[in-house]
């Protein structure tokens, strides 16, 4: 049995960042921190003492006083504000101070935010993921749009370029964003003529973006798999399917997650998220593939993996979420858990118990 612990809950309160001079645009993506009150309540229900730390600035101040030496664990749900490794910044600080924390280490957090590098590692381990190429904006003149020839030239750095350019439709997405940021109906590229307009539109909509990933479009079913635990002890909490509504009033019909649907109640009327039994062969394959990816990337404690089927029924990893949303009755991981008989308090406790396995025996 776990003793009552002192747990530092590190999150991002937008008002705290505003007070430190961050612009509304810079902190608009901060979402995971909304779950802080619910997480605190779940931890306190187990008898733990919760210390709320609402920003990286507050964390720096507390680390400077050596207060962290009295913490048994840090429950870290920070997304970061700036930089390509922003989700790893607090993790790296805690590692430097040898403070045990929840979720994946800094290296994995940084890796999983970069969709291109994540797919490189998945390919190395033989985990299916759609063929892809990356268009890096730092190699381009920021004062003008990229031409189709320039985009194709950058895509040719990928060994998949010939396959991609000969097999439309393709799909484009920002290289390092979460929550389907930047995804809209137009991101499905039907022909070569649409390639440059879509890439340039993504570049214009996110001036700070590192680039765009262009991958083969997967026309099959889409699943999101909830996972808890670490390494060999990791297990599938459950799997939901995203089912696109066949509504004649929907113009145009949408068959993939967009930024608007992901951030709206009831998927903006475009889809339903439903529990799927693992007796469904494609759902079960999605779960096995997701677990392979989770272990290959060395993810820890809890998160989500998004999977989509190709035309042949092969499950491909779309995205790995080592920092999944945890807002009750809203975020996908708690919903998956609820669909499979795991209460919110139990889910949070699973995360804590998995993290404690990395501590010395005296803490348990």
- Mutual angle of helices 56-64 and 89-96, in 10-degree steps: 10
Which residues make beta-bridge pairs with 76?
10
Enter the tokens of residue 211: 């680039």
Q: Does the pLDDT at position 340 exceed 80?
A: yes
Q: Which of 227, 230, 232, 237 is nearest to 101 (CA)?
A: 230
Instruction: Report pTM.
Output: 0.89
| CATH architecture label of 219-356 | 2-Layer Sandwich (3.30)
C-alpha 93, offset from chain centre = 21
Question: What 3-state class would DSSP assign to 211?
Answer: strand
The superfamily (CATH) of domain 131-216 is ATP-grasp fold, A domain (3.30.1490.20)
Cβ atoms within 10 A of the Cβ of 96, count? Answer: 10
Mean pLDDT value across residues 109-136:
96
Note the pLDDT of residue 361. Answer: 56
Note the pLDDT of residue 360. Answer: 64
Mean pLDDT of the chain: 88
pLDDT digits (tens, 9 = 90+) for 215-274: 999 999 999 999 999 999 999 999 999 988 775 455 555 565 544 444 555 555 677 889
Q: Does the pLDDT at position 92 exceed 80?
A: yes
Q: Does the pLDDT at position 156 exceed 90?
A: yes
CATH class of 6-103: alpha beta
* Angstrom distances, CA of residue 330 to CA of 30, 34, 301, 327, 352: 15, 11, 20, 6, 21
pLDDT digits (tens, 9 = 90+) for 9-29: 999 988 777 776 776 666 666
Enter the tokens of residue 244: 């696109």
Note the pLDDT of residue 298. Answer: 97
Biggest CA pair distance of the chain:
63
Question: What residue segments make up the domains of the chain, in order of their start?
Answer: 6-103, 131-216, 219-356
Give the percent of the chain with pLDDT over 70: 85
Q: Which of 172, 167, 183, 179 is nearest to 31 (CA)?
A: 179
pLDDT digits (tens, 9 = 90+) for 51-88: 999 999 999 999 999 999 999 999 999 998 888 899 99
What single-letter DSSP state applies at residue 317? E
pLDDT digits (tens, 9 = 90+) for 270-317: 778 899 999 999 999 999 999 999 999 999 999 999 999 999 999 999
Domain 6-103 and domain 131-216, same fold? Reply is no
Note the pLDDT of residue 254. Answer: 56
């Amino acid at each position: 049995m776990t003793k009552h612990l002192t747990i530092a809950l590190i999150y991002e309160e937008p008002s705290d960042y505003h007070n430190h001079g961050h612009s509304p645009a810079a902190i608009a993506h901060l979402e995971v921190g909304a779950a802080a009150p619910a997480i605190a309540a779940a931890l306190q229900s187990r008898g733990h003492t919760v210390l709320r730390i609402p920003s990286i600035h507050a964390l720096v101040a507390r680390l400077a006083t050596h207060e962290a030496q009295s913490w048994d664990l840090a429950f870290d749900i920070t997304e970061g504000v700036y930089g390509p490794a922003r989700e790893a910044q607090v993790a790296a600080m805690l590692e430097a101070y040898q403070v045990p924390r929840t979720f994946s280490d800094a290296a994995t957090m940084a890796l999983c935010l970069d969709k291109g590098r994540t797919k490189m590692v998945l390919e190395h381990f033989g985990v299916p993921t759609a063929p892809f190429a990356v268009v890096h904006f730092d190699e381009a003149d920021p004062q003008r749009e990229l031409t189709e020839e320039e985009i194709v030239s950058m895509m040719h750095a990928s060994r998949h370029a010939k396959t991609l350019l000969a097999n439309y439709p393709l799909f484009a997405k920002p290289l390092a964003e979460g929550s389907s940021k930047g995804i809209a109906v137009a991101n499905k590229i039907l022909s070569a003529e649409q390639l440059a307009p879509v890439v340039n539109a993504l570049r214009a909509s996110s001036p700070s973006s590192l680039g765009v990933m262009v991958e083969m479009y997967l026309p099959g079913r889409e699943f999101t798999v909830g996972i808890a635990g670490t390494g060999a002890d990791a297990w599938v909490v459950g799997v939901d399917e995203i089912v696109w509504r066949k509504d004649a009033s929907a113009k145009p019909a949408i068959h993939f997650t967009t930024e608007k649907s992901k951030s709206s109640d009831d998927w903006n009327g475009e889809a339903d998220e439903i529990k799927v039994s693992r007796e469904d062969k494609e759902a079960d394959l999605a779960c096995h593939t997701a677990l392979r990816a989770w272990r290959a990337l060395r993810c820890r404690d809890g998160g989500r993996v998004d999977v989509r089927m190709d035309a042949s029924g092969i499950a491909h990893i779309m995205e790995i979420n080592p920092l999944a949303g945890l807002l009750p009755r809203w975020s996908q991981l708690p919903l998956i858990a609820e669909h499979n008989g795991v209460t919110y308090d139990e889910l949070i406790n699973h995360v804590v118990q998995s993290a404690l396995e990395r501590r010395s025996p005296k803490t348990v």
